[in-house]
Structure formats: structure tokens, C-alpha cells
Structure 1
Amino acid sequence: MDELNALADDRALLGRTSTAERVADILRNRIAEGYFPPGTRLSEDSIGGALGVSRNTLRESFRLLTHERLLEHQLNRGVFVRVLSVDDVEDIYRTRRMIECAVVRSLGDPPYALDRIAGAVADGQRGAELREWKSVSTANIHFHRELVALARSERTDELMRSVLAELRLAFHVVDDPQRLHEPYLARNLEIVEMLREGRRDTAETLLGEYLDDSREGLVEAYRQRMPKDG
């Protein structure tokens, strides 16, 4: 019920010009924030009622998110949030490395607009102090989203939102979120410091190593967990 109440709060975002794309944006964000874990069946009646949209609009939104690999339609069962495989995780990180490192590499001369990125770092640190690891995970995702936003490209931003929402699905298999997320708080800060100093090449190197280590940790968690679920 909590997730449906949250969707009802989002209803005001639709306004009078409600479209399937706006509904998809809301659901994508809710998936990224962990409101709908992998394997969750999405009820047309419940979600449509919470958002106040027609069944046809909702089905089109589901179709869009299925195309983005966030949802899947199972014959005679309905629409579900996808459960990712190890191959999915590997591919997500290949995509992230191409996008994020390319953005840092393409930055012009400093200074860079780092306030939002630094804010994500601070949010992660506060979450760790409170031992709220879901908040730390969310802050880390915001860090990478804001890093890509330095490119000032709406298309790249849109692609990254989809990739990071899919990544969030992978985090649900991790039994020890502290172990997964906490080590990257210091590394986020180090990347920001390098960018503040205008050391773009060093920041790119650190980011590439960061993503490689994150991928290895998540793949290891997947391989340990998947046999239990199989």
C-alpha cells in the first residue's frame, strides 16, 4: 500500500495534459527508487486508480518501460518488474563505462558546475551516518546521474536515467548493501575533488576503476545469490 500511496502523491504531476510518457516517467522513477522491487506484478487497476489514468494510457506506459527493459510481460500473468541476469549486469556496466567516462573526457576547461554532484556526495555521507543504506544507494545513483548531466545533453540524460533505473533492479539481490555501497562514498568525493582541481584525466581514470570494481562486486553478489533462487 505504501507504494500506491506514493503514486497517488505523484498524481498531481500529471495535470490536465496526462500522457503515457509522463506516467512512464513516474513509474521509472519509482522503480529507480526501489518502490517496486524485481518480480513485482504491476496491477493495472491499482496503479491506474492511484494515478487517475485510463487503462489504455497505463498500458502504453507499460509498453514504453518494457522497451526500456524495466518491465516484462508474461503471457496470461500480467506485467512484472524485470529480474536481471548476470549478463544484464555486465551489459549495464559496459554501457555506464562508455557514457560516464566519455562525459568526463569531453568536459571543457574548468571550473565545472559541481554543486549538484557535491550535494549527492553529502546526501550519501548523511545516509551512511544514519546507516540508511537504501539512501546511500539512492545518493550514489544521483551522483552518477548528475555527473552525466555535466554533458548538458537531454538525450544522454534520458539514456542514463533508464540505465540507472535498470541498475537499481540489480541492487535488490544484494544481501549486504553496506558492503556494496559504503566504499564508494570516499571514491565519489575523490572524483569531485579531482574535477574541482581541473584534473579531468585523473577523474576519468578514477571513475573507470570505480565502475570496474562496482561491476565485479555486484556480479559476485549475483552469482552467490542466483543459485539460491534458481
Structure 2
Amino acid sequence: MARNAALAGLAEGDHAPHAHTGAWVAAVLRSRISAGQLPPGTKLSEQKLSEALGVSRNTLREAFTVLAGESVVRRIPNRGVFVAAPGEEEIREIYRVRRLIEPAAVLWGNFPTEALDIFDPIIAKARAAREAQSVPGMADANQELHKALVALSGSPSLQELMDKVLAEMRLVFHAMATTPDFHSHYVERNAALVEQIRAGHREEAAEELRWYLDAAERELLVHIGALRE
């Protein structure tokens, strides 16, 4: 029932003049996955989505092809298209990309110190979610912070790439839904990272971020049984 409601909810605010393009439909679905509205295993019904988005099934299939290439959805013969559940190799690839683009954004992004003020409400949101023991709330704040970090690079291409990575990341987070400590101990790490950047210690912040991403990758791989403690 919840999954059907999520598909139906796509109808609100998701129509656009260019809605006939597969790229636009892929972007809409990717953003909903990144926001946690379409969890792993959700079947993406062609009929319901084409009606909700006001697009043809051919356009929808184009979008599915794009998302399948990004490992965000998977096609199962004779069964349909489903939101993917990333495994070991997908997790490793996510972190290969993140280690390249996020520390680079910290190190070489051309932004004024006051631009960092956008992080303050995100950190407050993360702390409030930790206090409330809300795993989804902490995951949301974490996604928002890392997206904003790459946005400071000023590069639309990097932001588009990060959107794809975060959509996959959201699917990985579903595997950690029963382990709140995975998210809680990154709340203050994120806050400390922002303070390092604000203090002008960009090299140290970039190095810390690389270590942070290594630790998160290892923790995820241990959780899914791909590595031992």
C-alpha cells in the first residue's frame, strides 16, 4: 500500500513542459529514490507511472534504461522493473566516485566563507534527528549535507553526478535502517568537517573526508557480510 502511494504521489508537481523526455522522467524518479520515497524492491509499474507523470510508456522505458545503467533500478525478465538493492560492488563503486569528487570540492571549490552558512540548518536538523533517534532523519540530513558540499564546487556536471550517487546511496542506507549508530556517529563528524572548512583548513578537511569515506565504506561492507570486522 505504501509503495503504491509513493507512486501515486509522483503525480503532484511532477508534470513539466518537457515531460515527454526520458531524461526528465529519469531525473524525477532518481530524485524520489534519493529522497527515500521509493525504497529498494519497489516495483515501478509502467501503467501507474505513465499515468502519474503524463508520459508514454516508451518514454518511461527510456528512463528505465537510463536508471538501469546507473544501477538505480534493475529489470527482471517477465517480472518488471524494480528499485535496486545495491550489493558489494555497487557500494565499492559509490565510494570510488565519492572519494574523487567530494574531497576535490572541499579542496578546490571556489566559494566564500559565508556560503558555508547553508550547512548550519542541516547540522541542526541532523542533531535533532539523532536526539529523536530518527534514522531516516539522520540519513536525510547526511544526504543533504554531502549534496550541498558538492554544490559549492559550482559545477552543474558534478552536481548531476552527485545526484546519481546519492540516489544509489539512499538505497544503501535502507540496509542500515536497523543500525542507528551508523548514522549517529557521522553527525558530529559532518559538523567538524564544516568547521574545518570554515577555519580555512581545506587540506586537512579533504584528508579527513577521505578517511571518513573509507570508514563508512568499510562499515557498510561489514554490515552486508562482504568484509569481516
**TM-score higher than 0.5 here?**
yes
Q: What does 1:148-227 correspond to in 2, within 5 Å?
A: 148-223=150-225
For 1:140 and 1:158, locate their aligned partners in 2 and report how far apart those are by CA, in whole Å.
Answer: 18
After TM superposition, the structure 1 stretch with the greater mean CA deviation from structure 2, 141-150 or 82-91, is 82-91
Is 2:110–2:152's contact at 8 Å kept on the other side of the alignment?
Answer: no
For 1:103 and 1:29, locate their aligned partners in 2 and report how far apart those are by CA, in whole Å.
Answer: 22
Deviations 1:169-193 (A, max 9, x none): 1122225341110101101110111
Identity of aligned residues (%): 39
TM-score in terms of structure 2 length = 0.90
The Cα of 1:83 is off from its aligned counterpart by 2.0
Q: Which residue of 2 aligns with 1:227?
A: none
After TM superposition, the structure 1 stretch with the greater mean CA deviation from structure 2, 103-112 or 151-160, is 103-112
User: What secondary structure sits across from 1:131 in the alignment?
Assistant: coil
Deviations 1:145-204 (A, max 9, x none): 110111100110001110111111112222534111010110111011111111111211
For 1:207 and 1:157, locate their aligned partners in 2 and report how far apart those are by CA, in whole Å.
Answer: 18
Change (3 A) 1:65 1:5: same
Is 1:112–1:195's contact at 8 Å kept on the other side of the alignment?
Answer: no
Change (3 A) 1:135 1:175: closer
Letter in 2 for 1:17: H
- 2:17 maps to 1:16: yes
Letter in 2 for 1:8: A
User: What secondary structure sits across from 1:114 in the alignment?
Assistant: helix
For 1:91 and 1:112, locate their aligned partners in 2 and report how far apart those are by CA, in whole Å.
Answer: 33
TM-score in terms of structure 1 length = 0.90
For 2:12 and 2:163, locate their aligned partners in 1 and report how far apart those are by CA, in whole Å.
Answer: 21
Is 2:86–2:171's contact at 8 Å kept on the other side of the alignment?
Answer: yes
The Cα of 1:110 is off from its aligned counterpart by 5.2
- 2:79 maps to 1:77: yes
For 1:203 and 1:110, locate their aligned partners in 2 and report how far apart those are by CA, in whole Å.
Answer: 16
The Cα of 1:80 is off from its aligned counterpart by 1.3
Selected match of 1:135 from 126, 132, 137: 137
For 2:66 and 2:117, locate their aligned partners in 1 and report how far apart those are by CA, in whole Å.
Answer: 32
Letter in 1 for 2:45: S
For 2:49 and 2:223, locate their aligned partners in 1 and report how far apart those are by CA, in whole Å.
Answer: 32
